[in-house]
């Protein structure tokens, strides 16, 4: 049986305060969807009654709709498709890591750029990753093919680097549904992991938007109808923020000043997230990535 795994947002528990998924992006530029990632269907229903929603429409936590989007039933030895660089749990305990999952079903593990999987934090795990997810079990991935045929249906693999070099979206063309992992978390420019490339992310957002799909299932339990407009808006917002980073840097501003001027809100929250992740997730990482990868 194939398991299309949901990679939900990470959560950190500190003194009774839980920060999960989109909550890690409070105060980011244009993050107008940050309140729309729900821990339970009941919370989603309550939130939906608070106010009228405009596009994108949030239907339900993503795992509820995966079976509809990609109704696959692989036989032993077919495929388990994975993406991203860590399994994460938000609405339930984290799903089984790729190695044990593949071993249980006698499957291969497909991963884009498998030679890169230890380049982005897995080769030297920060303490918070060890505490929350533990050591990743060993497995030997093979290169993600362009199309994955499983028991009468087919998923198209779309490279969407930015959040990671291995990041891949899975497109179910008959239903116009795309599974995007962490390509889209909130609608704005955001704190990022230290290995992320904002310019690749911009291109990936626009690549998926250009498909004009019916539905997007994200790794943080958002289900977005007609996602192209919000994907383009996020790409534009990141592009504007990155341009400002480069302009401020050219004027002689240091990184801390650039962070304050590009992201005027939510500084205390960002400092806390940076401290909890050992500096691996912060707005400072966004600024440094813009400078590192500017073209």
Give the residue with greater pLDDT, 244 vs 135.
244
- pLDDT per residue over 118-159, tens digit each? 888 888 889 998 888 888 788 888 899 999 987 788 999 999
Instruction: Report d(CA 222, CA 33) in Å as an integer.
Output: 9
Mean pLDDT of 221-248: 96
For residue 175, is pLDDT > 50? yes
Q: Using an 8 Å Cβ cutoff, are 147 and 138 in contact?
A: no
Which residues sit opposite 79 in a β-bridge? 108
Mean pLDDT of 180-201: 92
The token duo for 182 is 């962490």
Instruction: Rounding to the nearest 10 degrees, give the CA dihedral for residues 34, 36, 37, 43.
Output: 140
CA–CA separation, 99 and 136 (whole Å): 8
Looking at the chain, the whole-number percentage of residues with pLDDT higher than 90 is: 47
Q: Taking a C-beta distance cutoff of 8 angstroms, is the pair 237, 188 a contact?
A: yes
CB neighbours of residue 212 within 10 Å: 10
Q: What pLDDT does 22 receive?
A: 54
Q: Is the pLDDT of residue 214 over 90?
A: yes
* Sign of the dihedral through C-alpha 81, 85, 86, 89: negative
Q: Which residues contact 213 (CB under 8 A, 6 or more apart)?
A: 171, 176, 177, 178, 226, 227, 228
* CATH number belonging to domain 11-293: 3.60.15
pLDDT tens track for 75-103: 444 444 444 444 443 433 445 577 788 88
């Amino acid at each position: 049986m194939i398991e299309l795994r949901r990679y939900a947002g990470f959560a950190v528990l500190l003194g009774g305060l839980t920060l999960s998924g989109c909550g890690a992006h409070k105060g980011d530029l244009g993050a107008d969807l940050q309140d729309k990632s729900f821990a339970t269907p009941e919370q989603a229903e309550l939130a939906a009654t608070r106010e009228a929603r405009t596009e994108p429409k949030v239907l339900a936590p993503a795992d509820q709709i995966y079976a509809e989007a990609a109704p696959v039933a692989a036989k032993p030895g077919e495929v388990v498709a994975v993406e991203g660089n860590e399994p994460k749990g938000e609405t339930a305990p984290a799903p089984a890591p790729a190695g044990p999952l593949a071993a249980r079903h006698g499957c291969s593990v497909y991963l884009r750029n498998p030679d890169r999987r230890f380049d982005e934090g897995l080769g030297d795990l920060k303490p918070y990753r060890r505490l929350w997810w533990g050591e990743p079990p060993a497995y030997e991935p093979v290169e993600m093919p362009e199309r994955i045929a499983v028991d009468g249906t087919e998923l198209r693999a779309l490279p969407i680097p930015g959040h990671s070099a291995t990041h891949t979206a899975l497109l179910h063309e008959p239903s116009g549904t795309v599974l995007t992992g962490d390509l889209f978390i909130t609608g704005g420019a955001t704190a990022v992991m230290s290995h992320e490339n904002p310019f690749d992310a911009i291109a990936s957002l626009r690549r998926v938007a250009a498909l004009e799909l019916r539905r997007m299932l994200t790794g943080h339990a958002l289900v977005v109808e007609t996602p192209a407009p919000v994907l383009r808006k996020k790409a534009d917002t990141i592009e504007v923020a990155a341009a400002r980073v480069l302009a401020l840097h050219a004027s002689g501003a240091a990184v801390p000043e650039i962070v304050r001027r590009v992201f005027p809100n939510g500084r205390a929250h960002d400092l806390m997230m940076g401290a909890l992740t050992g500096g691996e997730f912060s707005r400072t990482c966004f600024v440094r990535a813009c400078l590192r990868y500017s073209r």
